[in-house]
């Protein structure tokens, strides 16, 4: 894991290399600094860890001190044990289909604002060479701001987009910050000593202020907005109510969880659509058909009817999972059969607190599960192929599966549906080909970014 600390390789790359180097092993030992750990290769064993034997691996191997970083320290992703269980139960209310459907009009307004922004750029001949992730981030920040606080984020207005700038400071392209993030993931026990934080103090203050002001205003005026902030304030029987720190942490967590990963996913979809024009045209035809049946308007239900868009999203996440690995902890001492197979060697003891890595990127590009695994083929996820038992772990699996998966899906689908309905996407020469993973970034983002041209449909003959 030392290469991740030097920035020569990302953790996702290292896990994938270990996965590919030992095809005859069900799992492989490694050292995370001086701590022995396991990289799991066998898909059935992975399912046991995440589902069947969850009680033995229920914590993620990430830690950040809430006294240093309140928002990340209280994030459901980093919480452990009973605290994780209670927080998950309280937050899961936010992501039901019913709640998201209620909030769809807020999301839809952000989609329309993005198209207005793109049309204005078109009129000024400024649609050449978009940074795909920057566009996706602006959309995501405004959507989360609207669905959390009921406010406009103004991310498409360079003069007012202060919130987007603050959110962007969570993941700056800085060698020092990159090293701190790697320490958070590789050596979490050191994070409190060197004060590793993901959320800048300025953003934490902003979120706390917004939470306090919004709650006070709604209580004084008896307003129920129905957004995330209202939902997490609703009392639950036999659960303690959230404190102001809790509300600040979870409101801020919507930005941390709902901006960067979905922006990366959206940018990769734009890349794949630009490269595979046949896929782009097939998707556009389905979108046109849906709009023609619904007065040229999107709603929650018809967005979900876009089956081919769902196929495109899942195939993109298979090839380019924003989180290229999972890191778990063995929460009790257990024994596993030899990594060569049952009866082919001595059992191996996994001690309590041993790190367990699951190489998502590696296993989702394994020829064993996906033919021509490096090729982009959305039909892999068509209705006809959904019964195939193969790994798809981009949102995790089991009790710790990503809570915001539904929100992430609808968020990305709205952005892509609006763009494809109105514009054609081509690849810009600024994109460095072939795409290479940025080794200094803890998520799986391409080095140099993805740059696309976005041009009105009727202007390309």
pLDDT tens per residue, range 49-91: 999 999 999 999 988 889 889 999 999 999 999 999 999 999 9
Note the pLDDT tens digit of each residue in 141-165.
Answer: 999 999 999 899 999 987 778 889 8
Kindly tell me if the per-residue pLDDT of 106 is higher than 60: yes
Count how many domains the chain has.
1
Q: Distance between CA atoms of 151 and 153, rounded to whole angstroms?
A: 6
Closest CA to 188 of 337, 96, 48, 61: 61
Residue 191, domain member (yes or no): no
DSSP 157-212: -TTT-HHHHHHHTTS---HHHHHHHHHHHH-GGGTTTTT--SS-HHHHHHHHHHHH
Using CA of residue 315, residue 407, residue 269, residue 72, what is the dihedral sign?
A: negative
Q: Where are the beta strands (DSSP E) in 50-93?
A: 59-60
Mean pLDDT rounded to a whole number for the chain:
91
Whether residue 221 lies inside any domain: the answer is no
- In this prediction, residue 141 carries a pLDDT of 96
In angstroms, the CA 261 to CA 408 distance is 9
Question: Is 263 exposed, middle or buried, given 0-12, 13-18 or 19+ CB atoms closer than 10 A?
Answer: buried
| CA angle (163, 164, 168) in 5-degree steps | 120
Least-confidence region, from 29-33, 81-85, 316-320, 414-418: 29-33
Length of the chain: 461
Q: Decide if 321 is inside a domain.
A: yes
Task: Answer with the residue of higher pLDDT: 169 or 114.
Answer: 114
Residue 424: helix, strand or coil by DSSP? strand
- For the ranges 55-69, 252-266, 300-314, the maximum mean pLDDT occurs at 300-314
pLDDT tens, residue by residue, 113-133? 999 999 998 877 766 789 999
Q: What is the pLDDT of residue 378?
A: 98
At 440, the pLDDT band (50, 70, 90 cuts) reads confident
402 is in an annotated binding site: yes
Q: What's the Cα-to-Cα distance from 329 to each of 59, 83, 323, rounded to whole Å?
A: 6, 16, 17
User: Does residue 172 register a pLDDT over 70?
Assistant: no
DSSP symbols for 435-448: --B-TT-SS--BTT
Q: What are the tens digits of pLDDT across the range 194-244?
A: 666 788 899 999 999 999 999 999 999 998 988 999 999 987 766 778 899
**Where in the sequence is the domain holding 257, given as residue range(s)?**
1-66+93-148+253-455
pLDDT of 461 over the 50 cut: no
Mean pLDDT of 334-346: 92
How much is the pLDDT for 443? 87
Average pLDDT over residues 239-268: 92
Share of the chain above pLDDT 90, in %: 74
Check which CATH number belongs to the domain holding 289 and give it: 1.10.630.10
For the ranges 105-114, 195-204, 246-255, 414-423, the lowest mean pLDDT is seen at 195-204
Q: Does 15 reside within a domain?
A: yes
CB distance 91 to 85 below 8 Å = no
In a domain, 214, yes or no: no
- Whether residue 341 is predicted with pLDDT greater than 60 in this model: the reply is yes
User: What is the predicted pLDDT for the residue at 332?
Assistant: 96
pLDDT tops 50 at residue 333? yes
> Is residue 182 predicted with pLDDT exceeding 70?
no
The percentage of the chain sitting over the pLDDT mark of 70, rounded to a whole number, equals: 91
Residues 6 or more apart whose Cβ sits within 8 Å of residue 241: 233, 235
Residue 285 lies in a domain: yes
What average pLDDT does the segment 300-319 reach? 98
Look at residue 236 and tell me if it is in a domain.
no
Give the pLDDT band of residue 186 (cuts 50, 70, 90).
Answer: low
């Amino acid at each position: 894991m030392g290469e991740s600390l030097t920035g020569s390789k990302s953790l996702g790359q290292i896990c994938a290399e270990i996965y590919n180097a030992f095809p005859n092993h069900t799992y492989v030992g490694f050292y995370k600094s001086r701590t022995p750990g396991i990289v799991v290769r066998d898909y059935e064993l992975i399912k046991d860890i995440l589902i069947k034997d969850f009680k033995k691996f229920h914590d993620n191997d990430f830690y950040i001190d809430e006294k240093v970083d309140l928002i990340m320290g209280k994030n459901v992703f980093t919480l452990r044990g009973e605290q994780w269980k209670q927080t998950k139960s309280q937050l899961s209310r936010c992501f039901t289909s019913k709640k998201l459907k209620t909030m769809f009009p807020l999301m839809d307004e952000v989609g329309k604002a993005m198209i207005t922004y793109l049309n204005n750029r078109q009129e000024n001949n400024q649609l050449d060479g978009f940074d795909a992730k920057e566009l996706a981030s602006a959309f995501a920040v405004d959507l989360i701001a609207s669905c959390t606080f009921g406010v406009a984020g103004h991310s498409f207005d360079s003069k007012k987009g202060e919130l987007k700038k603050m959110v962007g400071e969570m993941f700056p392209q800085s060698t020092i910050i990159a090293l701190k993030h790697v320490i958070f993931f590789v050596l979490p026990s050191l994070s409190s000593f060197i004060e590793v934080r993901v959320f800048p103090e300025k953003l934490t203050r902003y979120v706390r202020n917004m939470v306090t002001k919004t709650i006070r205003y709604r209580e004084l005026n008896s307003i129920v907005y129905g957004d995330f902030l209202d939902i997490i304030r609703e009392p639950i029987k036999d659960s303690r109510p959230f404190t102001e720190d809790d509300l600040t942490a979870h409101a801020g967590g919507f930005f941390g969880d709902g901006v960067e990963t979905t922006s990366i996913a959206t940018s990769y979809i734009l890349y794949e659509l630009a490269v595979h024009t046949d896929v782009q045209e097939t998707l556009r035809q389905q979108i046109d058909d849906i709009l023609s049946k619904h007065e040229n308007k999107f709603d929650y239900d018809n967005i979900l009817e876009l089956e081919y868009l769902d196929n495109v999203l899942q195939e993109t996440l298979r090839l380019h999972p924003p989180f290229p690995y999972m890191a778990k902890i063995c929460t009790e001492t257990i024994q596993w059969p030899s990594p060569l197979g049952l009866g082919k060697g001595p059992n191996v003891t996994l001690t309590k607190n041993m790190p367990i890595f699951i190489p998502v990127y590696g296993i989702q590009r394994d020829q064993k599960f996906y033919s021509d695994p490096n090729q982009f083929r959305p039909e892999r996820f068509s209705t006809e192929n959904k019964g195939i038992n193969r790994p798809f772990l981009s949102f995790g699996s089991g009790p710790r599966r990503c809570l915001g998966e539904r929100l992430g899906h609808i968020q990305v689908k709205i952005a892509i549906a609006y763009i494809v309905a109105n514009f054609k996407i081509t690849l810009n020469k600024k994109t460095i080909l072939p795409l290479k993973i940025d080794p200094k970034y803890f998520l799986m983002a391409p080095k140099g970014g993805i740059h696309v041209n976005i041009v009105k449909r009727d202007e390309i003959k």
